[in-house]
Amino acid sequence: MRVKSFLRTVMLIGACTAAFPALAETTIRLSLQLPLKHHLGQNVVDFKNEVEKNSNGGINVQIFPSAQLFKDSEVHQAVTSGAIEMGVMSLAQLAGTIPAVDVFYIPFMFPNQEKVVAATKVGSPVRSLLDAAIIETGARPLWWNAYGGVALLSKKKPIRLPEDMEGMKVRVFGKTLGEFTKAVGGAPVTMAGSEQFLAYQRGTVDAGMTGVSAVGPRKLYQVMDYLTLTNHADIEFITIINEDFWKKLSPEEQTIITAAAQKVELQLRNKIQQIEIDAIADAEEKMTVIHLSDEDVAAWREKTKPVLQNFMDNSGPLGKQVIEAAESL
């Protein structure tokens, strides 16, 4: 009886396996520069859960947050070299290789959320041009991670008008943001997001640019006094995967990963405005938040006009195509 019972169990397990085929186990390591509690962290956790659920556990996604393995500036090289399969990185980190990606940092090129959404959605002329160029580097963008608008942080001196940044050393995270800083008389200092806290604490820089949503999770309110809501640029992160690794995945695995990426991208894009509203409200309890008037914004626009021409001069034919695509939205 025990033998018959065992055989029936084996047959039942075999039938279930045939009905719900599992993919061969594939492990994907993913590098993240931010803590898991940040909205980008939650975004990749949602991706991990979606992929593992829909692959019946056949694909295992391992997340390494808070720059445990690689800093933002190292992610692209790490992914393209195969040191890690996936990584989340600031789009601006590619500006040295693909200068046109800095289109999102041209001052006030994307002044509202509607235009940001139009430029970043799958299939948009702006995104299609940039995605194609990124794939040529050996890394495939799986999805774009909405991060929000750029704001200014300062310690001892509030920043409201362009002249307030005269002579300041300013943390930036892209060449074009550096040009913005130079246009208003500041000195740009490029550094990874994970290095901000210590730089502000030690006085290495006088001011900095960051996303509003990073102030709370990175505890920047502990080392800076003022947050100025200029919203002069849009921050985009991208999640990339090694192109050779991608090509070795089965069609089924690629389908599962692509579907999960598209789902979590849309979820985050739809939530980003509320995330920023909540982040500003939180910051107002811990530091002085400066809201600009229309006249203030006009002054910033006027002072930073040369940045666009500088971008056009240095981004080649692709830069011109991207600008034309952005202006057509």
3-state secondary structure of 43: helix
Q: Residue for token digits 């006249």? A: 295
Residue 29 lies in a domain: yes
Residue 12 falls within a domain, yes or no? no
CA distance 57 to 3: 31
R_g of the chain, CA atoms, integer Å: 22
Instruction: Show the low-confidence residues of the chain (pLDDT under 50).
Output: 1-23
Which candidate, 155, 156, 193, places its Cα nearest to that of 172? Answer: 193
> Does 174 fall in a domain?
yes
- Domain hosting 313: range is 24-327
Please tell me the distance from the alpha carbon of residue 323 to that of residue 173, in angstroms, as a whole number. Answer: 21
Q: 6-41 in b/e burial notation, b at 16+ Cβ within 10 A? A: eeeeeeeeeeeeeeeeebeebebbbbbbbeeebbbb
Inside any domain, residue 97:
yes
Per-residue pLDDT at 238: 98
What are φ and ψ of residue 212, in 5° steps? -55, -40
- Tally the domains of the chain: 1
Residue 111: what pLDDT? 87
CB 83 within 8 A of CB 208: no
With residue 225 as reference, give the H or E element that holds it.
none
218 domain residue, yes or no: yes
Asked whether residue 19 is assigned to any structural domain, the reply reads no
Q: Domain holding 285: CATH number?
A: 3.40.190.170
pLDDT of 225-259, one tens digit each? 999 999 999 999 999 999 999 999 999 999 999 99
Is residue 18, in this structure, part of any structural domain at all?
Answer: no
99 within a domain of the structure (yes/no): yes
Distance CA 148, CA 227 (A): 15
Q: Which long-range contacts (CB under 8 A, 24 or more apart) does 270-274 make?
A: 271/39, 272/39, 272/113, 272/146, 272/147, 272/148, 273/113
C-alpha span between 225 and 152 (Å, rounded): 11
Q: What is the pTM of this model?
A: 0.83
Closest CA to 308 of 238, 236, 207, 232: 232
* Identity of residue 93: Q
How confident is the model over 290-315, as pLDDT tens digits?
999 999 999 999 999 999 999 999 99
